[in-house]
Structure 1
Amino acid sequence: MTEATAPEDGAAPLRILLLEDSDLDAELLEAALEDARLACAIERVIARDAFAAATARGGHDIILADYVLPAFDGMAALAMARATCPEIPFVFVSGTLGEDVAVEALKHGATDYVTKQRLDRLPRVVLRALSEARAHVLRRAAEQALRDVNESLEQRVAERTRELAEANAALQHQIGERERVEGALRQAQRLEAVGQLTSGVAHDFNNLLTVIAGNIEFLERAVADERSKRRLDMMRGAAERGARLTAQLLAFSRRQKLAPVPVQLNQTVASMRDLLQSSMGGSVRIEMTLQPDLWPALVDATQIELIILNLAINARDAMAVGGCLTIETANVRLKAEPSRPEEPNPGEYAMVAVSDTGTGIPADVLARVFEPFFTTKEVGKGSGLGLAQVYGFAKQSGGGVRIDTRVGEGTSVRVYLPRVVAEAALPEARPAEIDCAAFRDPGDQRVVLVVDDDGAVREITVTRLGEAGYAIREASSGLAAIQALEADPCVDLAVLDFAMPGMNGVEVATVIRSRWPQIEILFVTGYADHTALSQVDAGGEDRVVQKPFRGEDLERKVAEILKPRPRPELKLVTGGAARR
């Protein structure tokens, strides 16, 4: 053991708590400390309560205790001291402390022990106990300091790790945002390049069609025989179909001529319910959610009807029997920048959405849906210009399009149209009236519109009716027929194929009945659902010609429908319709 040294002169006296019942032993103990020149301040107690109060009060440097006390023993005092002030050294000073008892005391927390027969050892034991206590305090302080440093280091490491994680997340976000912007830019550039290409092609094609149509008109003046005239009529019909195709291309490239006027979209959507229901048939339920205080939109009134019906037919094709088509209008304020080129810029818009419960659009298809001529439908089922036309119209109008889709759940196409800033009361737009009698002489040929998606069958029908003396117009689809009637509704009879992609014959007939009721209807078909025909009051078997044609059945039924009868002067109303 190392020898303990006495405190230096002038140091504070040792504060000793002495548990001793013998006055003589207390004096001997104090004398032993004085002989060692230890300045001491001794507080002596005898009873349990006094000892408990002293330990609880604290302020002592060391506790010296006898082992045998009246009504109190040293081990109880040790337990009390360890519970109240465990950091203070505890030394037994006893005359009867055997070796076994001493070992037990040390096990229970005593610092050391001295026999009263060897009080000369007491000063060294006291100084060593104090030294060990101070070392223990210093060690605990060092350990606490080390723990504090470790905790601080761990905290700094955690903070730095969090900072690095946040910086990495921000960097990843910036990388992702840059990739998204670059992708959107590439998509916009691709669509712009395709738009410029299609615009140039449409422009050149229109020039060619102008030459073709002009020369057909010149030839009609010079040709006298009926057969040649019929061929020229077929050529003119083909030129008109080409013109309609170029109109769709110009819509995508945002080069079409629009006549924007304030339009109440709620009125437009509500007025189309019957048309949409006939287009959907009985297999799809239609729901409308129209915002009462909808802002008026500044758009081309005819084109917006085209867009809505176009989207509705696309939705119908994506749904099975029992699906639901929802048309919604809403006022929308957009603050976020567009993430895709077709989406609108920040601003205020009147929005019309067409939603379905169909198959949804996969991600690889969604990236290309606005490209012209891109379609996932079978050959002959779609041109691939429908959504391209929607995109071009919305962008040229100053708005945009957004598609929300979930594979297996459905798709919602939202068209954002610029609102009218001045919200004055809008006059109800009345469609232009056309007086067919002003353009027709009594001896003019009766006009027949032949609608059939099969070109070969259509040519047979056109040729037979042309040879029968009728002026012929042609359309390759229901939507094309409606568009042709919008351009010139002065038609006496519409000969409709029953089964066509897009709008079938019954759906086309329903639109004609509602908008141009003076036009007669005749169905040409290889099969017919007579329940469906009854919905448009087709007139029974006299209004249906079965394919293949039998003898003069076609010509006979057309002649019966168009036989001379008193005809009142008709004023026909044109309005919006739709095309794919």
Structure 2
Amino acid sequence: MEHVTQPDQATQDDVGPAILRILLLEDSDLDTELLGAVLDDLGRPYTIDRVMTAPDFTAAAASCGHHLILADYVLPTFDGLSALAIARTHCPGTPFVFVSGTLGEDVAVEALKRGATDYVTKQRLDRLPRTILRALAEARAHAERERAVQDLRDLNATLEARVKTRTSDLAAANAELHRQIAERERVEEALRQAQRLEAVGQLTSGVAHDFNNLLTVISGNIEFLERAIPDERSQRRLQMMRGAADRGARLTAQLLAFSRRQRLEPTPVELNQTVSSMRDLLQSSIGGAVRIEMTLQSDLWSALVDATQIELVILNLAINARDAMAVGGCLTIETANVTLTRTPAHAEEPVPGEYVMLAVSDTGTGIAPEVLARVFEPFFTTKAVDKGSGLGLAQVYGFVKQSGGGVRIDTRVGEGTSVRIYLPRAEATSPVREAFRPVIDCAEQRRAGDRPVVLVVDDDSAVREITTSILSENGYRIREAGSGLAALSALESDACVDLIILDFAMPGMNGAEAACQIRLRWPHLPVMFVTGYADTAALMQAGEVGAERIVQKPFQRGELARKATAILAEASVGPAGLRLVVGQRHTA
């Protein structure tokens, strides 16, 4: 049954749907007509779906397609409370109003307890429109509250998920921040360590250079006195003095190794052969209480290092390992090809690249963390006063870094230590080019039998005197200059010299810079360096880096004269002993 009237707009907005769908449970046709007449007073369109049996009511309630349920309390085969139970099961949000002529007060109260929205007696049907409007309003308010509660639940669930996501993001950001802080602290510590070692290295190299100049004067004068004093007792004393000077020279060599100012001659070296050939020397050096084991990789790359210095490094590390094993143990030497990709954590460690790795490991006492932080500092030692100078690992550090590699120490207190040095892999070398440069013809200015002329350049007058005295005794004519600029000025006046001997470290223009200028202006003139330390890169720029063109201070007996003679012998000599205008061979 459907009845449509023109609705009041305000009422419609307040109570809900435009067409009110009513489910009516009523067996009386007359009562149904009466209800229809009363519902016309609602002032809004409505439809009525009438049912009289329990199955029909159940099906209609299960569809949940109605806005309101009106039900009689007493039916022939069905009762209102059963209908209420069915409605609350299938459509609990739909308002349920009893309309009955036999509904007593007790029954009405029971119905309300079970979920009925309201009740109206058939004797007071005039109350029905207001009851329906109130029931629809309450239902609408209840539905809105339910939606609000559900929205709140959804919001809480979403908020919990958002909080969880945000918490996870913050935790990840916090972990990344901690990682960055730790990385920054590691880099800053590595930088501080590198700066500290560099500062100590610069100070050490300066001290070693000045000390070598002093030793050069002492050793040179000892050599002159040995030839001048025949007394046996005095000779013994001079030998003691020479021995002390030699020990001083070895000490400065270790200092120069740490400061990376030593002269190296890197060549491709087969480390497996080097290590194997040193077994007997190592065993005799560390004693029979220590067992030596070697693990050598069969296809080991060649290492680009100074062959002599690497032997000293191995021996040094072996002796350190022996001292860490007071009651004997095992010394293991290992070689391997390694490719590093990790950024170095400390200044002494190697940068990424391909290396030949040499490891010397022991089963000794290990190194405590506070000691490990200082092991590469010169003169730092935990040994007794007469047991070590503290230069061993400093020398290893300087040699490896100057060679282009790095060193890493793995240690555990009470278990042992492994020192790994990483040496650059030797690559194929480029072919040597030969070129010929013209020389100046000085033959017209010379007479047959004239002695070769050597220009000695050194800012230290005492060292210069020793150098010129040695050369004069070996038959050379001497010209002197106290600086690089003075040498260039002297050559501008007279470039007819046979050999130039340059001190490397001089104020103003050092020996390497002076050599570069000499080669530009007088390319035929051979140059030899004497040095308390040698900056290899600068010497390479000067174009003279071979072992026969460098003499280390303090001079070894006969070395200066021997190398000067060898250099002069390379020049072409005519029948009268004079230099010819043929050309000076230059390798690049």
Seen in structure 2, the aligned counterparts of structure 1 residues 258 and 133 have a Cα distance that, compared at 3 Å, is same
Distance 2:16 2:249 in 1: 117
User: How many residues are aligned here?
Assistant: 423
Q: For residue 263 of structure 1, what is the aligned residue in structure 2? A: 269
Query: 1:202 and 2:205 equivalent?
Result: no
Contact kept? 1:5, 1:127, Cα under 8 Å: no
Gaps of 5+ in 2: 1-8, 431-555, 558-588
Distance 1:59 1:298 in 2: 92
Residue in structure 1 matching 2:138, options 132, 135, 151: 132
Distance 2:396 2:287 in 1: 23
Amino acid at match of 2:427: V
Describe the SS at the equivalent of 1:327.
strand
Q: For residue 235 of structure 2, what is the aligned residue in structure 1? A: 229
Contact kept? 2:16, 2:140, Cα under 8 Å: no
Seen in structure 2, the aligned counterparts of structure 1 residues 352 and 46 have a Cα distance that, compared at 3 Å, is farther
- After TM superposition, the structure 1 = structure 2 runs for residues 303-318 of structure 1, keeping only pairs within 5 Å, are 303-318=309-324
Q: For residue 413 of structure 1, what is the aligned residue in structure 2? A: 419
Distance 1:309 1:274 in 2: 11
Seen in structure 2, the aligned counterparts of structure 1 residues 18 and 378 have a Cα distance that, compared at 3 Å, is farther
Contact kept? 1:67, 1:75, Cα under 8 Å: yes
Using the TM superposition, give the Cα deviation of residue 126 of structure 1 relative to its aligned residue in structure 2, in angstroms.
Answer: 1.8
Describe the SS at the equivalent of 1:103.
helix
Query: 1:383 and 2:366 equivalent?
Result: no
Seen in structure 2, the aligned counterparts of structure 1 residues 308 and 87 have a Cα distance that, compared at 3 Å, is farther
Contact kept? 2:305, 2:403, Cα under 8 Å: yes
Q: For residue 34 of structure 1, what is the aligned residue in structure 2? A: 40
Query: 1:44 and 2:50 equivalent?
Result: yes
The one-character-per-residue Cα deviations of 1:488-544 (angstroms, maximum 9, x if unpaired) are 9xxxxxxxxxxxxxxxxxxxxxxxxxxxxxxxxxxxxxxxxxxxxxxxxxxxxxxxx
Gaps of 5+ in 1: 425-486, 489-580
Which has the larger displacement, 57-66 or 356-365? 356-365
Describe the SS at the equivalent of 1:339.
coil
Seen in structure 2, the aligned counterparts of structure 1 residues 52 and 346 have a Cα distance that, compared at 3 Å, is same
Using the TM superposition, give the Cα deviation of residue 73 of structure 1 relative to its aligned residue in structure 2, in angstroms.
Answer: 4.4
Contact kept? 1:198, 1:250, Cα under 8 Å: yes
Q: For residue 226 of structure 2, what is the aligned residue in structure 1? A: 220
- After TM superposition, the structure 1 = structure 2 runs for residues 59-138 of structure 1, keeping only pairs within 5 Å, are 59-69=65-75, 72-138=78-144
Seen in structure 2, the aligned counterparts of structure 1 residues 244 and 139 have a Cα distance that, compared at 3 Å, is same
Using the TM superposition, give the Cα deviation of residue 176 of structure 1 relative to its aligned residue in structure 2, in angstroms.
Answer: 4.0
Using the TM superposition, give the Cα deviation of residue 202 of structure 1 relative to its aligned residue in structure 2, in angstroms.
Answer: 1.5
Seen in structure 2, the aligned counterparts of structure 1 residues 129 and 299 have a Cα distance that, compared at 3 Å, is same
Seen in structure 2, the aligned counterparts of structure 1 residues 42 and 392 have a Cα distance that, compared at 3 Å, is same
Residue in structure 2 matching 1:404, options 410, 415, 418: 410
Distance 2:209 2:319 in 1: 29
Distance 1:112 1:194 in 2: 99
Contact kept? 2:18, 2:44, Cα under 8 Å: no
Seen in structure 2, the aligned counterparts of structure 1 residues 315 and 92 have a Cα distance that, compared at 3 Å, is farther
Describe the SS at the equivalent of 2:268.
strand
The one-character-per-residue Cα deviations of 1:139-190 (angstroms, maximum 9, x if unpaired) are 3333444555566666666666666665555555444444433332222121
Contact kept? 1:262, 1:420, Cα under 8 Å: yes
Distance 1:317 1:355 in 2: 12
Using the TM superposition, give the Cα deviation of residue 248 of structure 1 relative to its aligned residue in structure 2, in angstroms.
Answer: 0.9
Amino acid at match of 1:392: G
Q: For residue 190 of structure 1, what is the aligned residue in structure 2? A: 196
Distance 1:270 1:50 in 2: 104
Query: 1:301 and 2:313 equivalent?
Result: no
Seen in structure 2, the aligned counterparts of structure 1 residues 191 and 5 have a Cα distance that, compared at 3 Å, is closer
Using the TM superposition, give the Cα deviation of residue 408 of structure 1 relative to its aligned residue in structure 2, in angstroms.
Answer: 4.1
Distance 2:363 2:103 in 1: 95
The one-character-per-residue Cα deviations of 1:203-235 (angstroms, maximum 9, x if unpaired) are 222222222222222222233333332222222
Seen in structure 2, the aligned counterparts of structure 1 residues 46 and 321 have a Cα distance that, compared at 3 Å, is farther
Q: TM-score, normalised on structure 1?
A: 0.64
CA RMSD of aligned residues (A): 3.5
Q: For residue 246 of structure 2, what is the aligned residue in structure 1? A: 240
The one-character-per-residue Cα deviations of 1:246-293 (angstroms, maximum 9, x if unpaired) are 111111011112121112223333444444455555555544443333
Describe the SS at the equivalent of 1:329.
strand
Distance 2:107 2:325 in 1: 95
Describe the SS at the equivalent of 1:361.
coil
Seen in structure 2, the aligned counterparts of structure 1 residues 251 and 144 have a Cα distance that, compared at 3 Å, is same
Contact kept? 1:296, 1:423, Cα under 8 Å: no
Using the TM superposition, give the Cα deviation of residue 77 of structure 1 relative to its aligned residue in structure 2, in angstroms.
Answer: 3.6
Amino acid at match of 1:126: I
Using the TM superposition, give the Cα deviation of residue 313 of structure 1 relative to its aligned residue in structure 2, in angstroms.
Answer: 2.9
Q: TM-score, normalised on structure 2?
A: 0.63
Contact kept? 1:67, 1:97, Cα under 8 Å: yes
Distance 2:48 2:237 in 1: 136
Distance 2:180 2:338 in 1: 28
Q: For residue 559 of structure 1, what is the aligned residue in structure 2? A: none
The one-character-per-residue Cα deviations of 1:371-413 (angstroms, maximum 9, x if unpaired) are 0011122222222111101110110101111223344444332
Distance 1:150 1:328 in 2: 63
Describe the SS at the equivalent of 1:353.
strand
Distance 2:156 2:330 in 1: 64
Using the TM superposition, give the Cα deviation of residue 75 of structure 1 relative to its aligned residue in structure 2, in angstroms.
Answer: 4.0
Which has the larger displacement, 409-418 or 365-374? 409-418
Amino acid at match of 1:245: L
Residue in structure 2 matching 1:342, options 348, 351, 358: 348
Seen in structure 2, the aligned counterparts of structure 1 residues 74 and 183 have a Cα distance that, compared at 3 Å, is same
Describe the SS at the equivalent of 2:22.
strand
Contact kept? 1:289, 1:328, Cα under 8 Å: yes
- After TM superposition, the structure 1 = structure 2 runs for residues 354-369 of structure 1, keeping only pairs within 5 Å, are 354-369=360-375
Seen in structure 2, the aligned counterparts of structure 1 residues 128 and 359 have a Cα distance that, compared at 3 Å, is farther
Amino acid at match of 1:218: F
Residue in structure 1 matching 2:260, options 248, 254, 257: 254
Contact kept? 1:252, 1:372, Cα under 8 Å: yes
Describe the SS at the equivalent of 1:106.
helix
Seen in structure 2, the aligned counterparts of structure 1 residues 158 and 221 have a Cα distance that, compared at 3 Å, is same
Distance 1:322 1:94 in 2: 111
The one-character-per-residue Cα deviations of 1:419-464 (angstroms, maximum 9, x if unpaired) are 112399xxxxxxxxxxxxxxxxxxxxxxxxxxxxxxxxxxxxxxxx
Contact kept? 1:102, 1:113, Cα under 8 Å: yes
Seen in structure 2, the aligned counterparts of structure 1 residues 42 and 187 have a Cα distance that, compared at 3 Å, is same
Residue in structure 2 matching 1:57, options 60, 63, 68: 63
Using the TM superposition, give the Cα deviation of residue 302 of structure 1 relative to its aligned residue in structure 2, in angstroms.
Answer: 2.2
Q: For residue 371 of structure 1, what is the aligned residue in structure 2? A: 377
Describe the SS at the equivalent of 1:403.
strand
Distance 2:169 2:345 in 1: 29
